[in-house]
């Protein structure tokens, strides 16, 4: 990379955030704290989402649950993969060479986030079809076609970032490795390739579909309210405004999509600036990268706070866990009391 990212030659650990180094320890404290904290949140949050989907059958009523679960599994793998830079920053011995670990880690995380981005685009398409063609929706969107679509998302994401091993760095996910920061450069043509093949189409699909979804919902709401007012005036009763039934669920998905692009926008901008040799800064590189990765946890929070069915499933899961713990406690207490009675009988 540029000279600003050259590693320290004084024997100190390679730290992207200079303020993280302390004389009393031999690793990058601040980087480790940030990455481990995000790793714990991402893994625990997405495990809860996956369990809730299995415990709440009503969540599978919507076909978008296929894509939500795909995103949850991809985000879970992002959290697991964060273990690699954590071990590297802690100077844990790794069998493979640093350059290979760096390239594989950058490729894997890029693929996983591409799966999330493509899933969000497919969710918006699914909602668009559901609203524009409600009568033929069940024949157009079938479980078999959804599985084919998810498989295509994974294969496409793997292929898009495959040239990174020869063309250059796909992003800044591996910059915690010194080889990534110093020797693995970005390529302007590869950056343009990723933008054209992934970022731009996904953003266009999301903007187009949600714009039309809310426009149609607004039109439907207006028509429904006009009918209610007309019929209520004939009956002499006041009619209440009724929102579009699909708008609430679309708003949940829109919030997830909006937060995704808000958190990823600084990363994408920095990616474009650095690959064009306009701006390069190792602190900005680290912060924009891990801000984008934090989105893997935000999906869980938004969905759990916005979806009432998910909240019921979460309560059901927590209730089952509490009931299991209570049964174990009662069984333990009963076994303890029996052992005490038997011991007292021996001493009589």
pLDDT in tens, 159-192: 999 888 888 777 655 556 677 777 777 777 888 8
pLDDT at residue number 5 = 36
Ranges 11-20, 206-215, 222-231, 288-297: which has the least confidence: 11-20
Give yes or no for a contact between 190 and 168, defined as CB atoms under 8 angstroms apart: yes
Cα–Cα nearest to 12, from 26, 2, 1, 33: 26
Match 């990765």 to its residue by tokens.
Answer: 293
> Burial letters for 214-224: b for 16+ Cβ neighbours within 10 Å, e otherwise?
bebbeebbeeb
pLDDT at residue number 152 = 95
Mean confidence (pLDDT) of the chain: 75
Is residue 240 pLDDT above 60, yes or no? Answer: no
Tens digit of each residue's pLDDT (9 = 90 or more) over 260-298: 888 888 888 887 787 777 887 777 878 888 888 888 888
Answer with the residue of higher pLDDT: 343 or 295. Answer: 295
Tens digit of each residue's pLDDT (9 = 90 or more) over 96-128: 677 788 888 888 888 988 898 898 888 889 888
* Distant-in-sequence, close-in-space partners of 27: CB < 8 Å, separation ≥ 6: 13, 89, 90, 91
Match 């209520």 to its residue by tokens.
Answer: 232
Is residue 205 pLDDT above 70, yes or no? Answer: yes
pLDDT at residue number 153 = 94
Give yes or no for a contact between 246 and 254, defined as CB atoms under 8 angstroms apart: no
**Residue 73, number of CB atoms within 10 A of its CB:** 15
Can you give the length of the chain in residues? 348
SS3 at position 101? helix
Angle, alpha carbons 217-222-223 (nearest 5°): 100
pLDDT at residue number 154 = 94
d(CA 16, CA 286): 7
Cα–Cα nearest to 174, from 40, 14, 12, 4: 14
Is residue 148 pLDDT above 90, yes or no? Answer: yes
d(CA 186, CA 3): 14
Structural domains for the chain: 27-227+245-314 (1.20.1070.10)
- Is the entire prediction scored with pTM above 0.95? no
Is residue 151 pLDDT above 90, yes or no? Answer: yes
pLDDT at residue number 4 = 35
The pLDDT confidence band at residue 10, using thresholds 50, 70 and 90, is very low
CA distances from 329 to 127, 186, 340 (A): 46, 57, 16
């Amino acid at each position: 990379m540029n000279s600003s990212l050259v590693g320290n030659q004084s024997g100190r650990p390679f730290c992207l955030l200079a303020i993280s180094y302390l004389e009393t320890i031999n690793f990058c404290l601040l980087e480790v704290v940030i990455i481990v904290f995000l790793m714990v949140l991402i893994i625990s949050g997405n495990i809860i989402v996956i369990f809730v989907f299995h415990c709440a059958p009503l969540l599978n009523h919507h076909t978008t649950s296929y894509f939500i679960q795909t995103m949850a599994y991809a985000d879970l793998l992002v959290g697991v993969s964060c273990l690699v830079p954590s071990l590297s920053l802690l100077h844990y011995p790794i069998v493979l060479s640093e350059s290979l670990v760096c390239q594989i880690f950058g490729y894997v995380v890029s693929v996983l986030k591409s799966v999330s981005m493509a899933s969000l685009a497919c969710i918006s398409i699914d909602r668009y079809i559901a609203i524009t063609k409600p009568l033929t929706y069940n024949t157009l969107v079938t479980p078999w076609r959804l599985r084919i679509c998810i498989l295509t998302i994974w294969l496409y994401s793997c292929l898009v970032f495959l040239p990174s091993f020869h063309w250059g760095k796909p992003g800044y996910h591996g910059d915690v490795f010194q080889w990534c920061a110093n020797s693995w450069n970005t390529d302007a043509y590869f950056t343009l390739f990723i933008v054209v093949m992934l970022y731009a189409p996904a953003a266009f699909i999301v903007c187009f579909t949600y714009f039309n979804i809310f426009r149609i919902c607004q039109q439907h709401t207006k028509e429904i309210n006009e009918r209610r007012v007309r019929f209520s005036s004939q009956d002499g009763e006041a009619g209440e405004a009724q929102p579009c039934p699909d708008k609430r669920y679309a708003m949940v998905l829109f919030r997830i999509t909006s937060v995704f692009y808000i958190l990823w926008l600084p990363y994408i901008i920095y990616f474009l600036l650095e690959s064009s040799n306009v701006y390069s800064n190792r602190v900005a590189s680290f912060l924009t990268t891990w801000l984008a990765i934090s989105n893997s946890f935000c999906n869980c929070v938004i969905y759990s706070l916005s979806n009432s069915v998910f909240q019921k499933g979460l309560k059901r899961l927590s209730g089952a866990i509490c009931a299991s713990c209570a049964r174990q406690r009662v069984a333990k207490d009963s076994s303890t009391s029996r052992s005490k009675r038997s011991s007292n009988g021996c001493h009589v």
